[in-house]
Amino acid sequence: MVNDPVGDLLAQIKNASMARLQVIELPHSRMKLAVATILSQEGYVGTIETVGKEPKRMLRIGIKYQGDDPVITGVKRMSKPGLRLYVNRNTIPTVVGGMGIAVVSTPQGVMTGKDAKKKGIGGEILCTIW
């Protein structure tokens, strides 16, 4: 049993990109799917599909590369199970001078930091990707 599903997702994506794997499969959860969808919309990962039936559903994520280099160069888990990190709309960080994204869990769902700023809402910063 994984205590930190989002942290596990980020570690698997980072490790797979460093190992030059094309596709990874991991156990499905709604939070993992939401974070992976954000990463796909922002162009950090390729395809996302849910495979299998309910008790053993898996999330299949395609890793993206630019030539031989992975698109994701850095990942940082911000809010952890032992120490949650909440921010308001004014303190959502910019990542690598605007070249990366912050993934924020808000009352209106999981979204990027830019979207949360536009909507004027804060929430829990799950991770930063660059």
The CATH topology of domain 5-70 is Ribosomal Protein S8; Chain: A, domain 1 (3.30.1370)
Other beta carbons within 10 angstroms of residue 34's beta carbon come to 17
User: Where along the chain do its domains lie?
Assistant: 5-70, 75-129
- 3-class DSSP assignment, residue 33: helix
What's the predicted TM-score (pTM) here?
0.93
Q: Which CATH number fits domain 75-129: 3.30.460.80, 3.20.20.70, 3.30.1490.10, 3.90.1200.10?
A: 3.30.1490.10
* pLDDT at residue 15 greater than cutoff 90: yes
pLDDT at 54: 87
75-129 and 5-70 share a CATH fold? no
pLDDT at 101: 97
CA distances from 73 to 16, 80, 88, 122, 126 (A): 12, 21, 27, 26, 17
Task: Report pLDDT digits (tens) over 55-69.
Answer: 899 999 999 999 999
Q: Could you tell me which residues are beta bridge partners of residue 129? A: 75, 101
Q: Under a CB-based contact definition with an 8 Å cutoff, are residues 95 and 42 in contact?
A: no
Task: Report pLDDT digits (tens) over 60-96.
Answer: 999 999 999 999 999 999 999 999 999 999 999 999 9
